[in-house]
Amino acid sequence: MISIALFNNKGGVGKTTLAYHLAHMLQRQGARVLSVDLDPQSNLTAAILDEEELEQLWGNDSELFAQNGYPEQRKLFTRTENQRTIADAVRPILEGTGDISPVAPALVNEGLWLLPGNLELSSFEDKLSAAWLSGYAGDVAAIRTTTAFHRIIEHAAAAVEADIVLIDVGPNLGAINRAALLAADAVLTPMAADLFSLKGLLNLGPTLREWRANWQGLVSPKIPATISAPRATMAPLGYVIRQPEMRLDRPVRAFQRWLARIPWVYGTAVLGHASWPDEDRSYEIATLRNYRSLMPLAHDARKPMFDLRAADGALGSTQKYVQTCYQEFKSLAEQVLLRVESLPRA
C-alpha cells in the first residue's frame, strides 16, 4: 500500500477536484483506492456524498440536526448509515479518554472507499500542536497523538486491502496537515502557473524537509515498538498543473511566463537541489484543462466530470469535452501509477 497526500500551501488550485477525480480514475485502472479526507473543511466528503447523506453522517451529535421541528421522513442511505468520521476516530485522544477508535471506511464504488471528514476535526489542531514538541522527549501520549492519523489510515487501508491511499488535506502548514503529511509516503502537488502557487512551493519544500528530518532523526528513534508509526518519507511525486480560465485580463503569455519558472522552483525548493535546469520538466506529471463548464453538471449529477452523459446535460460539443476530460484523467492516473511503482516499499 502506498499513501499519497495531495497538498499545496496555496489554496484554490483544484486540489479536492483532483483528489476526487483521480481516486475514481485510479479505481477504473484496477487499483483499490482509499480516499481520506483530512481537510477540516471536508470538501472531498461533500463531493462524494449527497446532502442527505451528509446530514446523516454529521447530524448525530450536532445541535443543528437535534431539533424536532422537521418531519421524520428520512430514507436510509447505506453509505452513511452508522458511518463514523475521522473526528470520531480521534475523539478519545481529544477528550483524554483513550487512544484512537478506528473507523471503517464507507464504500463509494466497488474498489473505492472513503474515510469521511468532519468539520469538528479542526478542534484536534491544538492537541496535535502541543504533542509535537513533547514527542521530541519521547512522551508516549504525545507520540500516540501525532501518529493518530497514520494508525487510523493504516487500519482502514488494511480492512479494504487498499493499493493506494489518497489523502486530501487543507492548504496550510498547521499541525493537522503536519500529522497528515507524516502519514504520506509521497506528496502530489496540484498547482496553477501563477505567482501564488510558486510562492506556495517555496514554503512547502523546506517545511516538508524539516518535518521529515525532525521526525526521522529526533522522534522516530524514541517510539516504542508497540506503536505503529509512519516513516514520514513524504517523497515528492511530482506536480499537476491546472490551466487557468483564459480571460482578456489574464493573457496566455502570463500563464506561459509562470509555467516556465515551475521546474526551477520545484527542483530547488521541493527537491532541495542547489540548482535545477529550467527545461527539466521530469516532475511535471500532467497539465489539466480548466473544466469549469463541466463542474456544475458533475455536481448536480453527483458523478465525476468524465462520466457525464447527455441525460446529465452534457450535449453536443460538451460531450466531446467530457471525452477529452476522460482521456486527460486516464493519462494522469497511468502516470501516477508508474511513479508509484518506483517508490520504495516499507
The pLDDT value recorded for residue 138 is 95
Considering the domain boundaries, does residue 158 fall inside one? Answer: yes
User: Edge-to-edge, what's the strand order for the sheet holding 186-192?
Assistant: 106-109, 112-115, 33-37, 164-168, 2-6, 186-192, 235-242, 284-288
* 182 close to 6: Cβ distance less than 8 angstroms: no
Report the amino acid identity of residue 318. T
Considering the domain boundaries, does residue 310 fall inside one? Answer: no
Considering the domain boundaries, does residue 9 fall inside one? Answer: yes
How many CA atoms within 13 Å lie on the side-chain side of 216? Answer: 12
The pLDDT value recorded for residue 250 is 53
One digit per residue, the tens of pLDDT, for the chain of length 346 reads 999 999 988 777 789 999 999 999 999 999 999 999 999 999 999 999 988 888 888 875 444 334 444 444 444 455 777 789 999 999 999 999 999 999 999 999 999 999 999 999 999 999 999 999 999 999 999 999 999 999 999 999 999 999 999 999 999 999 999 999 999 999 999 998 888 889 989 999 999 999 999 999 999 999 999 999 999 999 999 999 998 765 544 556 778 888 999 999 999 999 999 999 999 999 999 999 988 889 999 999 999 999 999 999 999 889 999 999 999 999 999 999 999 998 877 6
Q: CA-CA distance, 37 to 158, in Å (whole number)?
A: 17
Cα angle 3, 117, 129 (rounded to 5 degrees) comes to 75
Considering the domain boundaries, does residue 320 fall inside one? Answer: no
CATH number, domain of 79, equals 3.40.50.300
Q: How many domains does the chain have?
A: 1
Q: CA-CA distance, 64 to 336, in Å (whole number)?
A: 41
**In 51-72, which positions are buried (b, 16+ CB within 10 angstroms) versus exposed (e)?**
eebbbbbbeeeeeeeeeeeeee
Place of cell 515528492: 236
* 103 close to 96: Cβ distance less than 8 angstroms: no
Cα angle 125, 127, 129 (rounded to 5 degrees) comes to 70
The pLDDT value recorded for residue 55 is 84
The pLDDT value recorded for residue 346 is 61
State the pTM of this model: 0.92
Q: Which of 155, 163, 190, 157 is nearest to 39 (CA)?
A: 190
Positive or negative, the CA dihedral 173, 179, 182, 186 is: negative
Considering the domain boundaries, does residue 256 fall inside one? Answer: yes
The pLDDT value recorded for residue 144 is 97
Q: Copy the grid coordinates of residue 313.
A: 446535460
Residues near 284 by beta carbon (within 8 Å), at least 6 away in sequence: 238, 239, 241, 262, 263
Considering the domain boundaries, does residue 332 fall inside one? Answer: no
The pLDDT value recorded for residue 91 is 95
- Give 313: exposed, middle or buried? Use CB within 10 Å, 0-12, 13-18, 19+: middle
The pLDDT value recorded for residue 64 is 37
Range of the domain at 109: 2-64+73-291
Considering the domain boundaries, does residue 299 fall inside one? Answer: no
Q: CA-CA distance, 210 to 216, in Å (whole number)?
A: 10
Q: CA-CA distance, 170 to 200, in Å (whole number)?
A: 13
